[in-house]
Structures are given as structure tokens and as C-alpha cells.
Amino acid sequence: MEASPARANPGVGTGDRWHVEVDRSLCIGSAQCVHTAPDGFRLDSARQSHPADPKTDANEKILAAAENCPVEAIMISLLGSGEPVFPPEE
């Protein structure tokens, strides 16, 4: 899934902070997020992904990990307002 053109890389480079979540009921443990953003995600002993820090600075690699998740298990919102960053609102 791609970010909408008007919101490409929302928050990246603006000093915004994000809240990152992984829906563990969807996560299949592909580790694609860990390979894309090794500082942003970890796998636990059950091979389930989780954010290294759920509250993080806006980061292109974390956004890319969310966009490339094969099951769309990663959600990103603006910290404070809760405005969705990924997946974008339709």
C-alpha cells in the first residue's frame, strides 16, 4: 500500500513524533520490518514483531517498513493528535 501523494512521508523531517504499533494478531513474523528498519523493530521469541520504541521520531525507514509489511500489521500515528500516518485515511 502506498501513501497518498499529498501525504508522502508525512511527518518525516518535520520534527514530528510518531506512535508505532504492530497488530500482533496480523503479524506473520516475516521480519521484513526488521530488515527495513533494524533500529525500529525487533522480533520476540515467538517471531512476532514489535516496535523497538513505540514513541519515536518520524523516520523514513519506519514508514517504509509499514508500507512494505506483507500483511499491513504496522500502524503509525502522530503522537499526541493520533492522526493516522500509515495506513493513510481513505
Q: What is the pLDDT of residues 16-29, one digit of tens each?
A: 999 999 999 999 99
Cell of 80: 499526541
Beta strand extents in the chain (DSSP E only): 17-22, 41-43, 49-51, 55-57, 74-78, 84-86
1-16 pLDDT, tens digit per residue, is: 444 444 455 566 677 9
Single-letter amino acid, residue 41: F
Single-letter amino acid, residue 68: N
First vs last C-alpha separation in the chain: 12
Please give the domain boundaries of the chain with CATH numbers for all domains. Answer: 15-86 (3.30.70.20)
For residue 19, the SS3 value is strand
CB 36 within 8 A of CB 18: no
Percent of the chain with pLDDT over 70: 84
